[in-house]
Amino acid sequence: MTQTPTEIPDVPPCNRNRQVLLSARPDGIPQASHFEIAETSVPEPGPGQFRVRNIYLSIDPAQRGWASSEANYSAPVPLGEPMRALAVGVVDASRCDSVSEGEYLYGWFGWQDFAVADPSAIMLRADLGLPLAQFGGLVGINGVTAYLALTLCGRPQSGDTLLVTTAAGGVGSLVGQIGRILGCRTLGLTGSDDKAALCRDAYSYDAAWNYRDTDIDAALADAAPEGINVFFDNVGGPMLDTALRRLAVGARVVQCGTASVPSWTPPPTGPRNEREILTRRLQWSGFVIFDHMAILPEAARQLAEWHAAGRIDLRLDVLDGIEHAAGSIADLYAGRNTGKRLVRIV
Amino acid sequence: MTQTPTEIPDVPPCNRNRQVLLSARPDGIPQASHFEIAETSVPEPGPGQFRVRNIYLSIDPAQRGWASSEANYSAPVPLGEPMRALAVGVVDASRCDSVSEGEYLYGWFGWQDFAVADPSAIMLRADLGLPLAQFGGLVGINGVTAYLALTLCGRPQSGDTLLVTTAAGGVGSLVGQIGRILGCRTLGLTGSDDKAALCRDAYSYDAAWNYRDTDIDAALADAAPEGINVFFDNVGGPMLDTALRRLAVGARVVQCGTASVPSWTPPPTGPRNEREILTRRLQWSGFVIFDHMAILPEAARQLAEWHAAGRIDLRLDVLDGIEHAAGSIADLYAGRNTGKRLVRIV
Q: CA A222 → CA A69, A243, A261, distances in Å?
A: 42, 13, 27
User: Do the Cβ atoms of B342 and B56 come closer than 8 Å?
Assistant: yes
Q: In this prediction, what percent of chain B has a pLDDT beyond 70?
A: 99
Q: What is the pLDDT of residues A126-157, one digit of tens each?
A: 999 999 999 999 999 999 999 999 999 999 99
The arithmetic mean of pLDDT across residues A38-66, rounded, is 96
Amino acid (1-letter code) at residue A260: S
At residue B72, does pLDDT exceed 70? no
Chain A residues at the B interface, defined by Cβ less than 8 Å, are 65, 71-73, 233, 236-237, 240, 249-250, 255-258, 261, 264, 267-288, 291
Query: What three-state secondary structure class fits A327?
Result: coil
% of chain A residues with pLDDT over 90: 90
- pLDDT number for residue B1: 61
Where exactly does CATH 3.40.50.720 map onto chain A? 141-290
pLDDT at A71 over 60: no
Q: What is the ipTM of this complex?
A: 0.90
Q: B141-290 belongs to which homologous superfamily? A: NAD(P)-binding Rossmann-like Domain (3.40.50.720)
CATH classification of A17-137+314-344 is 3.40.50.720, yes or no?
no
- pLDDT (average), residues B129-154: 97
Higher pLDDT among residues B109 and A28, named by residue: B109
The reply to whether residue A282 touches residue B283, judged by beta carbons under 8 angstroms, is: no
Best A145, A264, A279 residue to mutate vs chain B (most B CBs within 10 Å): A279
Hey, are the CB atoms on B285 and A283 less than 8 Å from each other?
yes
**Could you read off the pLDDT of A287-343 as tens digits, one per residue?**
999 999 999 999 999 999 999 999 999 999 999 999 999 999 999 989 888 789 999
Beta-ladder partners of B40? B17
Query: Rounded to whole angstroms, how far apart are CA atoms A243 and A163?
Result: 8
Cα distance between residue A276 and residue A249, in whole Å: 10
Residue A338 has a pLDDT of 79
- Range ranked top by mean pLDDT from A167-171, B2-6, B156-160: B156-160
pLDDT for position A7: 95
Residue A186, pLDDT > 70, answer yes
**Residue B69 and residue B290: Cα distance in Å, rounded?**
19
Q: What integer pLDDT is reported at residue B28 of this predicted model?
A: 86
Confidence at residue B71, expressed as pLDDT on a 0 to 100 scale:
58
Q: Which residues of B262-275 are buried (b: 16+ CB within 10 A; e: fewer)?
A: eebeebeebbbbbb
- CATH 3.90.180.10 domain position(s) in chain A: 17-137+314-344
Instruction: Output the pLDDT for position A5.
Output: 93
pLDDT of residue A2: 79
Best to test chain A binding among B232, B272, B281, B290 (most A CBs inside 10 Å): B272
Fold (CATH) for B17-137+315-344: Quinone Oxidoreductase; Chain A, domain 1 (3.90.180)
**Which residues in chain A have Cβ-Cβ distances shorter than 8 Å to B285?**
277, 281-284
